[in-house]
Amino acid sequence: MPVMGVGTWQLTTDTADTIATALKLGYRMIDTSGDYGTQPGIADGISRGGVERADFYLVTKVEEVGDAYHATRKNLDELQLDYADLMLIHRPPRTGAGEDLWRSLIRAKEDGLTKDIGVSNYSIELIDRLIDATGEVPTVNQVEWSPFGHSDDLLRYAREKQIVIQAYSPLTRTKRLGDATLAEIAAKYGKSPAQVLIRWNLERGTVPVPKANQRQHLEENIDVFDFDISEDDVETLNGLNERYSSLGTLPYV
Ligand SMILES: NC(=O)c1ccc[n+]([C@@H]2O[C@H](COP(=O)([O-])OP(=O)(O)OC[C@H]3O[C@@H](n4cnc5c(N)ncnc54)[C@H](OP(=O)(O)O)[C@@H]3O)[C@@H](O)[C@H]2O)c1
């Protein structure tokens, strides 16, 4: 799995152009979902992007209602792909942990529709319930994750189980880019606050999927491989945690 990707929720620019540009800039992971409406545009962008299928990693999601196997096939049709790299349950259903959805995704994986399967917006308890029911450990839990909202408990658990934490809304949907401590650290490294938020993930082995409509943002967000954040500064950023969620509540605390 690439160490970072590009998100596609609420892209307002032409999705195909944005994805073709992202691939040309060096992004190798694309995050989408059946309900984002971006899959057909991503298909076009991939065909224009000039990157072989084996060289990019496609993440998509099935909803918590309906037949996950059928939804997987539908996503692949929209994406014009034979397989996904990672298929996630978008969020847990209202009741239960989604054991039946999980069994359908296991079948989709066995049938070669996706290389890996995982979850999104899951707590430790709900992941344990999926594992208890099936023995299958999710490859990924994709959750809202930034210095302002994260969890040591979830990170420790994920490391123990070898589950990758993918960080969505890693730029706090811009809400916290003006934070004074973040600005101070960014200035110290000669980088932008957004670049520091992305790099903070890379330092800790979590995998951010920042979204950007603007080409300048796409360029900036992938220009994060020429610096490291010191352990002390990572600790300072960790300490900004206030369980902040730009979307409402963190599902895992
Ligand atoms: N699994 C889930 O339930 C779930 C939920 C939410 C999101 N996600 C995934 O995570 C992805 C990212 O999250 P998100 O879209 O919510 O928020 P985000 O990536 O935290 O923030 C996107 C916002 O940041 C701006 N931005 C991007 N790069 C910037 C930069 N370098 N400097 C300043 N501003 C910058 C973007 O502006 P422009 O667009 O104008 O460039 C956009 O307004 C989504 O697109 C989606 O793929 C998953």
Please pick, among 36, 122, 168, 252, the residue that the annotation labels catalytic: 36
Measured by CA distance, the residue closest to atom 43 of ligand 1 is: 173
pLDDT 10s digits, 72-105: 999 999 999 999 999 999 999 999 999 999 999 9
* Alpha helices in 80-163, H assignment, sequence order: 99-110, 124-134, 152-161
Q: What percent of the chain has pLDDT over 70?
A: 100
The total domain count for the chain is 1
Helix, strand or coil for residue 160? helix
Assess whether pLDDT exceeds 90 at residue 149.
yes
Looking at residues 178-185, what average pLDDT do you find? 98
Ligand 1 is surrounded, with C-beta below 6 A, by 7-9, 31, 90, 120-121, 142, 168-174, 177, 192, 194, 209-214, 217, 220-221
Nearest ligand 1 atom to the CA of 214 is: 41
| Helix 180-189 and helix 193-204, axial crossing angle in degrees, nearest 10 | 80
**Mean pLDDT over all residues of the chain?**
97
User: What is the per-residue pLDDT for 12?
Assistant: 84
What CATH number should be reported for the domain holding residue 102? 3.20.20.100
Tell whether 20 is covered by a domain.
yes
The pLDDT value given to residue 66: 86
Per-residue CA distances from 198 to 46, 108, 147 (Å):
24, 32, 10
Q: Which of 173, 160, 172 is nearest to 131 (CA)?
A: 160
pLDDT of residue 13: 83
Look at residue 116 and tell me if it is in a domain: yes
Can you give the pLDDT at residue 241?
Answer: 98
In a domain, 184, yes or no: no
Give 172 Cα–ligand 1 centroid separation in angstroms.
7
Query: 2-41: per-residue pLDDT in tens?
Result: 999 999 999 988 999 999 999 999 999 999 999 999 999 9
Q: Give me the domain span that covers residue 108.
A: 6-173+206-212
Is pLDDT of 215 > 90? yes
Digit-coded pLDDT (tens) for 103-132: 999 999 999 999 999 999 999 999 999 999
CA of 63 to the centre of ligand 1 (A): 20
Q: How many Å lie between the centroid of ligand 1 and the Cα of residue 133? A: 34
pLDDT for residue 187 is more than 90: yes
Question: Cα–Cα–Cα angle for 32, 63, 143, nearest 5°?
Answer: 60
Concerning whether 36 is annotated as a catalytic residue, the answer is yes
